[in-house]
Structure 1
Amino acid sequence: MAARRRGRAARPDTALFVDLGFVLALVAVGAFAAWPIYQTWYLVVTVAGAVVIAAGVVLLGRLRRWSWGLISVCTAAAYLAFGVPLAIPSAFASRADLVLGYRDLVVATVGDWKKLVTVDAPVGHFQTLLVPLLVTMLVCTTAAFSIVFGRARSYGVLVPIMLLPTAFAIVFGTTSNGHPLEIGGFQVAAPTHTVVGVLALGAAGGFLVWRGQHARTLALREAAAASGIRRPAGASVGSARRIAGAVAVALVGLAVAVPLSSTALEPSQRHVLRSAVDPTAQLSQYTSPLTTYRAAFSADPDTYNAAVLSYSGDARQLGRLRVATMSFYNGQQYTVLPSDSDRSSAFAHLPQLTSASHGSGLASLDVTIGKGFDAALGSGVWMPTVDGLKAVGFGGADVNALTDGFYYNTTLQAGAELHKLSPGDSYTLLATPQAATAPLGSLTPPQGAVPATADIPDSLTQWVQSQNLGTGGQALAGLIQRLRDRGFLSHSLVSPGTGTASDPTWLRETGGKFQQSLAGESMDRIGELFSDLLRQQQKVGADAPAASLVAGVGDDEQFAVASALIAESLGFPARVVLGFTLAGSETDAGAIPACDGGVCRGKNLTAWVEVQGADQKWVPFTTTPQSKLPLAKQPVTTSVPKLPTQVQQHVATVQPPPEANPTGGNRQNNDRTPKDAAGPAAWLPALRIGGTILLVLLILAAPLASLVIVKAARRRERRATPSSAGRIASGWDELVDTAVDLGLPAPGVRTRVEAAALYSAASRAADSTTLRTLAHGADDAVFGAFDPTPDEADRFWAQLDEQRSRLAAAFPRWKRLLALVSLRSFRTGSRIGGGER
């Protein structure tokens, strides 16, 4: 018999392998569910590393008989040691980044949970965003392995613990439901999420069914061994039948519930944390780059000849470098973002751009920032990119900082770098080669487009009508060509001089005669431009030679804005783009010269306009005015102030530092703020904040207050017990519960008298004689021949309340407060051996 028992003990426990299989299965389901968030195979390294660390620490702890606390400390140490290679692959860029990676690991453990939902998915292995997944997997598997290898009876706890990785993937997941799937006439709206739910819940349900059946089998086997009664021969067959029936019922339920629920739920009803967080960087606090356009043509300092950037690669296939795209005109200037910016017009982290590798059929361009970058482009936050961008890879010592600061807007096809670009910084752009665009004259406005009327100068409308060219693409092309032919290029309000061979200026290179030109792009400035054109046309007639109609003065700042407003007035969506034309691409004869020799200088900075046709594609065209024909004789020109040096460009505001929080989005709006904020409205923010804090405190305190109320109700119910004997017995239970909540041991198998001696010894303030008397009184009430009177029960409770107070008085105040909300008396109970009532 002993040999058979030893043989059974030596057999491997089937439940152990089932528990381990369940844990690993739920790990796989959680990783599968998290794939849409990351979509990088480094996720496998992160998950596998978490499982290996958890298993190693727990097994070592079991061999050395470590406590839970020591296992937790060792797990945290292993996490700090291996977290960087498992979750921050970017730290291997350099030795300095590897050292900083451990600092980032600690910071990301706390802060990257919010950051994970502020970055557009898929996030890849961007920065430290794999850290939340590593923490979730490591904590859950460590807890699960501790329960499994500890052979704990509470196997049911494994289910909620191992469902947490799947819950993490769902809560932090994407809002997309994927393409619907047809199954037997039913439409499964979210097939991926459905599969995840079926696998997770099916594994959990199957595990609990098998575990319950296994526990029943073990209990019957032990009972048979103890009693000598053998189980019926068909018992195992019955167990298998019950398990198969449970599985069949579950499969039928899933087969019916999944299609019906998926058909009933709309895909738009999926809401996750990402739905409520705006992961955009609001850049409207930065000055619009078009307002500083003329700084690139300055001779003092010489930004005209300074190298803004250099490039190499497939320049001919890419055509242009886009510095900034401005789509919103507010009557004062064209801006990158509107005042009421939303997600469609804002910039965001796009890890898929910074983590993508070279692809077939893509054009490549290597860009290096030059010394004239800041002077020519003002804030320096706008990063030159290309249309059709597919990937960007930064180089140099600041590769991680530059990657962290890169934001992109796919709608505008424009990028921003909030980690200030410095001379020598470099990056590589991968993009789709640019195809030939449709001629401007072949375009038609998008369906449903309405010609703009707001922020359109009256003189512009009158000039467009006076040309009698109609509407549509042909009219737009004709109007833009006439605007350029009747304008004159001038980059300055004051004469830049004639220039020298060593220091050429824009005036010397254009070969024209200097004409004063005001900066700005407001409605007044654009309105004056068209007023000059109208007056000259009325003076000489619309059919006069082209040289007699030249009257408008300005540069790309004014003429690009004017051209965009013309397009808007005809119903074409338009936007202004600031950038460079690369050498080798097709350029207009009258345009700003393209970059030469792989270098873009200040003199090559230009602005062009893009309009959208009915096919939703954006078509660019040049708007630079001509510089060969001078202004017509005695034109009515824009008035120039007597003190031109006092003219200031609009929105010359102080630029916020590049270190400003890119994901804030909470811009201060001081417009129309009343100076006198007195009155009840001034207290609203304070009341709102105070009320929020109070609400949070109430929510946190609600469970504790509930415990106090439940204990008071329990004491009142015991005191109101109908029989006197029951009241006395319940009173003793109340005393025992008080002692247990204070941290004293439960009576267990001790008699009441023994428990009274134990408590009087633990509390010097308690009266041992009275406690012993109370214990004897409770025994007499329960086991005595006569029931006590109500007066005796009242005296018992009075003495009891006094002893409860004296018992608690021996403990410090903090422990008495903890006793009020302790759950120990609910877990241990107050019944003692031989004294149950």
Structure 2
Amino acid sequence: MSTTTSSATSTRSARSARPARSATSRWTPTRAALVDVGFLLALCTVALLGLGTTFTGVGYLVVSLLGVVVGLLLAGLVRALRWPGIAAVTLGVPVWLGVAVLIAQEPFGPVTDQVVGGWKDLLTTLPPVEGSGVVLVLPWTLGLVAGLLGGLTRALRSGPVLLRSAVALLAPLLLLGAVILLGVTRPQSLWLQGVGFAVLAVGWLAVREGRRLRPVEGSATGRARRTTAGLVLVAVAGVLALPVTSAALGDDDGRVVLRSKVRPPFDIGQYPSPLASFRRYVEEPAPADPQNLFTKTLLTVQGVPAGTRVRIAALDSYDGIVWGAAEDTDPTTTDDAFQRVSSTIDNPVEGARLDVTVTVGEGYAAVWLPTVGDLQSMDFERGDADAKRDSWRYNLASATAVVPTGVRPGDVYRFTTVQPDDEVEVDDAPSSAVTDNRYAAAFLDTQARQWSAGATDPMDRVFKIADHLKTAGKYSDGVLQAEKIYHPGHHQKRLGDEFANAPIPVGNDEQYAAIMALLANSVDVPARVVMGAVVPAGGVVRGKDVSAWVELQVADGSWRTLPTETFMDLDRPAEQPPVTEQQMSGTVVPPPAPIPPPSTLAEQNDTELDDRKVNPADDDDDQPGALSGWWRWVVLGVGGPLLLVLLVTGTIVGLKAWRRRRRRAAARASSRVVGGWRELVDHARDLGQPVPVGAGLTRRQQAPHVATPAALDLARTADGIVFGPSDPDPAVADEFWAMVDEERRLMTGSAPWKRRVRAMVALRSFRRS
């Protein structure tokens, strides 16, 4: 009895002593806590390494691991102070903001924008993204959230033992899922993200369970419990690792990543096809049109051998009128989109590596950025370089680059590229992909069958069609007087009735490349048209060097060049147009009947004289009475429509003035600032600038599309004012409007007078999407 009493007394003494020991040692982490923190850091590091293919450098890893550590410290601080878990989140918000501002080197507004739209910017930018500046706010946020969640779930005390151990894995598992979703289809390391993560997770669970089973480890019951617990832990770890491994390895269609589901808010179709203006590059007889570019310098290209092809644009969609650039036309890849690009591009291609420098000459001004091969990196050196870096986009599938702010004479840019050996051969197996161009080429099915008769293999048929075009066709730019019957364009009528169905097909690169690509699609070989130039010796590309060729997709998904000389000869047609079949049939066409000379006054019969007496006004148009009737019709026919035009124009201009005054006189100063930014965007849209609008678009996203150097600064200023701690002073809003007015004047002054006139009555700014 005394033994029992003594035991109970010692137990009570031990229990009463625990709080005292806890109060003195709660600021010192235990060995178990350090082990848990170590596993958490290791698991989070493995997960975050998956972003290695998304960012350049190791800056993303440093700031994200800093976030994990800070999150763990905040969770430990809250636990030591015995505060509720929500206190860790409350402390984390100011810590997040302060460190984010230091990392981004940006004010409060752009940093908060990253929380809302950072993931969207990341997913719509071709990886790897430059790992510096404001883009690092997203990795910092991921790390901090993972650290806070991991620190709070690690110390969970309620619930079954096994559940508490499994919940501790929640933070690194969620972090790994977020990294995979925000990553790319090509993982950084399958072993690291799959097997490595699973092994660390199982090891941590085993350590935590082993720690709890030590008091009974000497008994048979303890050994059985350990064995059972170990089997259960392995099974649970296997179940948890299964989705992780599946996500890392991917299925037959590739990994499930948000990048393949989210399309950037960019419409490449808003820019006209460069092929439609091909006749600007042909030789014209004197005096040549001032817009003709045949002799003008377009580009000076350094770093490439003579004969290299510079591509202006790959045109992969035909709508019956023009070949144009589009997105989602290549079913063999998910990279067929125009995405924002960092300075480095993850574009694995085999071939010769080149360092190229391009200087834009006096004859080139467009949104299409001439490049060579498959880009690996890009840097703009001169000509509004910062704006171009922020706005330019690149399509991996078509190797086409576009700068929405425009490429202008004097611009200089440098890029590294890989030039593959890409000329197609007759024995290359074509891709089995079916594109919409196959159906667009249906009007040429008859010619495709006739001109490829005798060939069975699709690639063989393509080369046979090319040989027929080169043998039967003639070359003409349609600028000589005797050749003006050969019209420009590559719409269905021009390619059908005026080319394929003509006695002799006649055209230049525009028609030959357009119809060759359509005929290749017609025989089930995916094809597209490429507009570009062949670099001559010396590297100076002039208008006369511009040409159009065809690219065919082969079985491995790559695109190979079918040179222009394969399907087009330079033999010119006869000076006289070929006779038609009706003229060749032998039928004698009688000459037109001669027109009798007019009768004299003496030859008029009595009936004519009587008619003149009855209707004297028919011959008296010069009398004063006739003048008044003529003037009345002029007033009604011209003045009425003119009055209607003035009424419509005045209404539109008045509505814009009323809208501008309402925005400037808003009740709150912050609302005036918002109205000022909208006024700038609306004016840019009316001038024809492709500024996106609609729900979810921030001012910083719109700024690169506004063609004025101060747009980005104005967007940042507006964000700082609108999201500031208090409503700004009215003088601040007035100053912002003054800056907006100045930028509007600059934009208007730099636009051609025709565009300025159209902007006055443009209705784009009244459409909010």
Q: TM-score range by the shorter chain?
A: 0.5 to 0.7
User: 1:800-819 to 2 correspondence within 5 Å?
Assistant: none
The equivalent of 1:228 in structure 2 is none
User: Is 2:176 the partner of 1:169?
Assistant: yes
User: 1:94-173 to 2 correspondence within 5 Å?
Assistant: 98-99=105-106, 103-119=109-125, 125=131, 128-142=134-148, 163-173=170-180
**Kept in 2: contact 1:34–1:166 (CA 8 A):** no
Structure 1 counterpart of 2:235, from 253, 271, 282? 253
**Kept in 2: contact 1:206–1:247 (CA 8 A):** no
User: 1:201-280 to 2 correspondence within 5 Å?
Assistant: 203=204, 206-207=207-208, 210=211, 244-245=226-227, 248-250=230-232, 252-253=234-235, 267=251, 271=256, 273=258, 276-278=261-263
The equivalent of 2:520 in structure 1 is 567
Structure 1 counterpart of 2:574, from 609, 628, 631? 631
The equivalent of 1:287 in structure 2 is 272
The equivalent of 1:47 in structure 2 is 64
**Partner SS, residue 563 of structure 2:** strand
User: 1:507-656 to 2 correspondence within 5 Å?
Assistant: 515-530=484-499, 533-534=502-503, 551-584=504-537, 597-612=538-553, 618-622=560-564, 629-631=572-574, 633-636=576-579
Structure 1 counterpart of 2:369, from 383, 391, 405? 383
**Bigger CA radius of gyration:** 1
Structure 2 Cα separation of the partners of residues 110 and 454 of structure 1: 42
Structure 2 counterpart of 1:26, from 40, 46, 61? 40
Taking only aligned residues, the RMSD between alpha carbons, in angstroms, comes to 5.5
Structure 1 Cα separation of the partners of residues 172 and 401 of structure 2: 35
The equivalent of 1:192 in structure 2 is 193
**How big is each residue's C-alpha offset from its partner over 1:397-447, in whole Å with a ceiling of 9 and x where there is no partner?**
8656534434333332323334543444443332333327355x5556557
The equivalent of 1:657 in structure 2 is 689
Structure 2 Cα separation of the partners of residues 556 and 583 of structure 1: 18
**Kept in 2: contact 1:486–1:552 (CA 8 A):** yes
Shift of 1:114: 3.9
**Partner SS, residue 364 of structure 1:** strand
Q: Which amino acid aligns with 1:49?
A: L
**Partner SS, residue 432 of structure 1:** strand
Structure 2 Cα separation of the partners of residues 9 and 466 of structure 1: 92
The equivalent of 1:429 in structure 2 is 415
What is the count of residue pairs matched by the alignment?
558
**How big is each residue's C-alpha offset from its partner over 1:468-502, in whole Å with a ceiling of 9 and x where there is no partner?**
7756666644643553465454445686xxxxxxx
Structure 2 Cα separation of the partners of residues 132 and 52 of structure 1: 16
Structure 1 Cα separation of the partners of residues 461 and 260 of structure 2: 44
Shift of 1:32: 1.5
**Kept in 1: contact 2:383–2:410 (CA 8 A):** no
Structure 2 Cα separation of the partners of residues 493 and 610 of structure 1: 28
Q: 1:566 to 1:108 in 2, by over 3 A?
A: same
**What TM-score do you get using the length of structure 2 for normalisation?**
0.58
Shift of 1:621: 1.1
**Partner SS, residue 63 of structure 2:** helix
User: Is 2:26 the partner of 1:35?
Assistant: no
User: Is 2:323 the partner of 1:337?
Assistant: no
Structure 2 Cα separation of the partners of residues 104 and 364 of structure 1: 34
Shift of 1:349: 3.2
Q: 1:390 to 1:663 in 2, by over 3 A?
A: farther
Q: 1:206 to 1:398 in 2, by over 3 A?
A: farther
**Kept in 2: contact 1:493–1:519 (CA 8 A):** no
**Partner SS, residue 180 of structure 2:** coil
**Kept in 2: contact 1:325–1:336 (CA 8 A):** yes
Structure 1 gaps, min length 5: 89-97, 182-188, 218-233, 496-512, 535-550, 585-596, 639-652, 666-837
**Kept in 1: contact 2:330–2:435 (CA 8 A):** no
User: Is 2:396 the partner of 1:410?
Assistant: yes
The equivalent of 2:289 in structure 1 is 299
Structure 1 Cα separation of the partners of residues 470 and 321 of structure 2: 22
Shift of 1:607: 0.7
**How big is each residue's C-alpha offset from its partner over 1:755-813, in whole Å with a ceiling of 9 and x where there is no partner?**
xxxxxxxxxxxxxxxxxxxxxxxxxxxxxxxxxxxxxxxxxxxxxxxxxxxxxxxxxxx
**How big is each residue's C-alpha offset from its partner over 1:84-114, in whole Å with a ceiling of 9 and x where there is no partner?**
664x5xxxxxxxxx557x6432211222234
**Kept in 2: contact 1:163–1:200 (CA 8 A):** no
Structure 2 gaps, min length 5: 1-12, 283-287, 582-684, 698-769
Structure 1 Cα separation of the partners of residues 689 and 106 of structure 2: 27
**What TM-score do you get using the length of structure 1 for normalisation?**
0.54
**Partner SS, residue 300 of structure 1:** coil
The equivalent of 1:92 in structure 2 is none
Q: Which amino acid aligns with 1:573?
A: P
User: 1:370-519 to 2 correspondence within 5 Å?
Assistant: 370-374=361-365, 377=366, 380=367, 382-395=368-381, 401-435=387-421, 437-439=423-425, 454-456=439-441, 461-462=446-447, 465=450, 470=455, 476-477=462-463, 479-484=465-470, 487-491=473-477, 515-519=484-488
Structure 2 counterpart of 1:311, from 292, 301, 305? 301
